[in-house]
Amino acid sequence: MNDMSKMPAVKLPIPFIDLQAQRRRLGRRIDEGMQRVLTHGQFIMGPEVAELEKALAELCGAHYVISCANGTDALKLALRAFDIGPGDAVIVPGFSFSASAEAVVIVGATPVFCDVLPDSFNIDPRSLAASVDECLKAGLKPRGVMPVDLFGLPCDYAAIESIAADLGLIVISDAAQSFGASLGERFVGTFGAITATSFFPSKPLGCYGDGGALFTGDGDAAALLRSLRQHGEGTGRYDNVRIGVNSRLDSLQAAVLLAKLSVFTEEVEQRQRVAQRYNEGLADLVEVPRLSNTARSVWAQYTIKLDNRDQVAASLKAAGVPTAVYYPRSLHQQPAYVGFPVVDGGLPVAESLSRRVLSLPFHPYLDVETQDYIVDRLRAALAGL
């Protein structure tokens, strides 16, 4: 990287995710969209919501898109669409955010934790297959698998869908971090029976609050999801044909997302360039993310693997470089989930990753000078160990 003495001044501390850089670019467009909502006053299920669902479907190729209040609700709604509940098991990767397992528990089913792959951080198809035996040993009916596209990289859906078909499992894709990514010619939103995503502000496509969406190619499932998200309504507001929930996306959030969609494809390309610069600058220092030839990540996070993580993170913090650990404990080690079944042999890869992963500042507006500074400070931190 560059000689530090010759580098231009970098503004410190560096933001971990610079949402304000995007705000400076899109502020007027976002404000105008929100003002339209304030003017027409349809704050719940206004015209922006339907417009957003149509735009999301066109972007990823899904037949049906159903927006909802947040990503966790999206997972719960997907599970409920298949009547997954008490006595049922859903196989979940142990290395993930808690919402993946939380949604399963909330609908009354049982998460069964399997291991992940060391290179992609995503579900290990072999561990998935082995987990069915654990479900049966626990007296549970294996109903589904919830692959998680961690850090923006799609899972190996060809292998997962094949195994799931053989074992009679429903695939519900947890794409909270990966909307905009792809595998070959298929985009996230077209994998599994239902795909769920999140529009939390820090996501690659994020709103100014909570938001989520579901994607499916099944018209009957789409109709059921629309009913479930709005109190189980049938033909009208006061025709309640099933027990539903209140999980509607606000019109204001839809307006924000519509404005951000106008530059989303370009931002995904910028994310590729930022990730490539990191890979080139760090490959000789640490274990950098590796993608298959067919996978295209949306880079929700840029996560490296290294030893002495805490010392390195402390050194970077002192230099004005923030870091984050996703996740310091695997789900099966969390107090809330200790009692749930784990695949035979445990989750050694997930546990190892929890000790070694470190995420660096990342967003599509990360300039070269700032990124050079981050890489150089990481190099100095490692040299000082």
- For 209-221, the DSSP string reads S--EEEEES-HHH
Domain-embedded: residue 42: yes
* Residue pLDDT, tens place only, 84-98: 999 999 999 999 999
Structurally, the chain folds into a number of domains equal to 2
CATH number of the domain bearing residue 158:
3.40.640.10
CATH number of the domain bearing residue 350:
3.90.1150.10
The domain in which residue 352 lies consists of: 264-383
* Residue pLDDT, tens place only, 358-375: 999 999 999 999 999 999
> Which of 242, 259, 276 finishes a domain?
259
Domain-embedded: residue 72: yes
> Which of 196, 231, 259 finishes a domain?
259
* Residue pLDDT, tens place only, 110-129: 999 999 999 999 999 999 99
294 and 244 in one domain? no
123 and 208 in one domain? yes
Report the C-alpha gap between 103 and 111 in whole angstroms.
Answer: 9
pTM of the model: 0.96
299 and 163 in one domain? no
318 and 217 in one domain? no
Nearest one of 316, 199, 311, 317 to 247, comparing CA atoms: 199
> Mapping DSSP to helix (H, G, I), strand (E, B) and coil, where does residue 84 land?
coil
Report the C-alpha gap between 269 and 307 in whole angstroms.
Answer: 31
> Which of 229, 259, 289 finishes a domain?
259
Q: Any idea what DSSP says for residue 364? A: T
Report the C-alpha gap between 114 and 342 in whole angstroms.
Answer: 6
147 and 33 in one domain? yes
